[in-house]
Amino acid sequence: MIEIKLAKTAGFCWGVKRAIDITMEAANGKAEPIYTYGPLIHNPQLIKLLESKNIHVKNDINGMSGGEIIIRTHGITPEKRNVLREKGITINDATCPLVAKVQGMVRKFSRKGYSIVIVGDDDHAEVVGLKGYAETPVHVISSGDEVDNLPMYQKVFVCAQTTCDIEKYKDAVERLQRRYANLEVGETICDATNDRQSEVIQLCREVDAMIVVGGKNSANTSRLASIAREHGIPTWHIEVESELDLEALNGFSRIGVTAGASTPKWVIDSVVQKLASIQRPILSKFPVFAAVLGFLVKGEIYLALGVSALTFVNMRAMNIGADRSFMVLSFCAILSTYLLNQLLRPEEVKRSKARKYYYHLKFHKAFMTIALLSAATGGMIAFSKSPVIFGLYAAILLFGGTYGMQIMSTRISWVSNLKNIPASKDLFVGLAWAIIAVIVPFQGIGSGKGIIAPLLFTFGMGYVRTVLMDMRDIYSDQIVGKEALPILMGKEKATSAMYGVLLVISALLFVMMGDQTGYMAGYLCGTVYMLGFIHYNQNNIWAHSAKFDMFLDAVYFLIALFIILLA
């Protein structure tokens, strides 16, 4: 059995996350392209992802006049900043605050007459920017070995590139102190770099091999790989999962995984999941069963069956029997809506990088056929019921299937306005679930009782599930819009909101229990299951596996089974 140890510090640092937030906010709702002055961060996968959002890298601004440009995390020189202003270009500054602080320190000590020494990579964008703030002689050294080659100065200020190797900087400072009597030392290596490098050193004591994930042109990622190699650990520096040499890694029992500050979590997740395939889990012994289960989960069929089961429970709770046609209608609505929402916007889906959605694109024709057949079947059933039910079904299909498409947002203003309502997506999904799994069967039968409890529970489950999926996307550094609650409130507050919604629903269900003890108990079991699922999966590394979706949506089948056993 292979043990995979994932570094806690792997993935985006707060400075990178801040830069992405600034960039996405600048691009939000704009049809014209947004430019970053050079790559926002050193990660080719994220750069491609941003390009799908019409955010492009601009290395040469000579032909640019007016417009808006985003300063990348590494910062730029004052001269370049002045050129941008002279051209009338609006500057949106995403420079890492720590880098900006170091820029200020270089300027401050330079104006006091100190010569400047920077420990780092001379051609790195951050160092190039730092040199621009020096008004006195400035020198860049890559290690302490170069100290003796520096000119003699009366007073010197030394600082490090924020992602510099800690030990390398300490050695350089010690040598500089011996060479210069008047030396000011800047503590400029960021805490995230410090923590990341320290954790790699600790991880090297616990593993037999190390995988470092991140851009090959990322200085901080390359240093992590160097540190691991210096500690005698076989190390592979890769950018994506396809570069893993599983045959070579199969000989190790403990494998460590870490990543640079500019590596998205979804890239790390993919690497971890591929490494896990070496372990030969139980399902791998039954490949046909595993393939079928994967198809059901990734193809949204499992979810659609779950909502169909929930419709069954709701109809029983409302005392309107269990008309199978309404269960089929729920199945068709959910299946076609969720599939079409992915298939009709392939470029948007590609940026998510989730394996589930790549699965949709890989078998695009098959899933499109399934989606259209499902939509047509549901449409015929809805039409046979009543004009009202057909209208509700068509509205869910049209709005849900095209939600998030750029063409819909630009050509139909009210769709754009609805989409821009903060946390709107989560609310709309909850409402759609309540309509298709509660209101439609209640309206179709024309009689019944106790609609409030099923309506409340179904809306809450659809809402919480959507927020939880948004949380998964944010955990994996996917770019979601402000229509998602976790973007509006932040992950911690969004998690509290999910707990709050489920607890309020539980309390109201308990109050409304009355003579429907069995059905209410089933609903309460569902809320307890979701509370436990949220708690367990807050930081789960398999959040983007089919296993996550399978256990998340199992709750609907469990409730239905509970009701059947009570009957």
Q: Give me the active site residues, please.
A: 126
- Adjacency order of strands within the sheet including 183-185: 138-141, 115-119, 156-160, 183-185
Cβ within 8 Å of residue 312, ≥6 positions away: 322, 327, 560, 563
The DSSP 8-state label assigned to residue 435 in this structure reads I
439, 479 in Cβ contact below 8 A?
A: no
Q: What's at 125, amino acid-wise? A: A
Q: Return the number of other C-beta atoms located less than 10 Å from residue 355's C-beta.
A: 19
User: What DSSP element (H or E) covers 100?
Assistant: helix 97-111
Parallel, antiparallel or unpaired: strands 90-93 and 55-58: unpaired
DSSP string, 527-550: HHHHHHHHHHTTT-TTTTSHHHHH
Q: Return the number of other C-beta atoms located less than 10 Å from residue 431's C-beta.
A: 16
301, 295 in Cβ contact below 8 A?
A: yes
Radius of gyration, alpha carbons of the chain: 28
Angle value at C-alpha 342, between 340 and 346, nearest 5 degrees: 120
Backbone φ and ψ of 210, nearest 5°: -130, 135
DSSP β-bridge partners for residue 125? none
Task: Tally helices (H) and strands (E) across the chain.
Answer: 26, 12
Of 72, 62, 75, 70, nearest to 90 by C-alpha is 70
Q: Return the number of other C-beta atoms located less than 10 Å from residue 266's C-beta.
A: 25
CA separation for the pair 238, 263 (Å, rounded) = 11
Parallel, antiparallel or unpaired: strands 156-160 and 3-6: unpaired
Query: b/e string for 207-225 if b means 16 or more Cβ within 10 A?
Result: bbbbbbbbbeebbbbbbbb
DSSP string, 209-246: EEEEES-TT-HHHHHHHHHHHHTT--EEEESSGGG--H
Backbone φ and ψ of 157, nearest 5°: -115, 130
Token pair 């959910």 in the structure block, residue = 334
317, exposed or middle or buried, with CB in 10 Å at 0-12, 13-18, 19+?
buried
The DSSP 8-state label assigned to residue 278 in this structure reads G
Of 376, 293, 287, nearest to 328 by C-alpha is 376
The DSSP 8-state label assigned to residue 438 in this structure reads I
In a 3-state reduction of DSSP, which class is residue 160?
strand
Give all strands (DSSP E) within 65-111, no chain letters. 68-71, 90-93
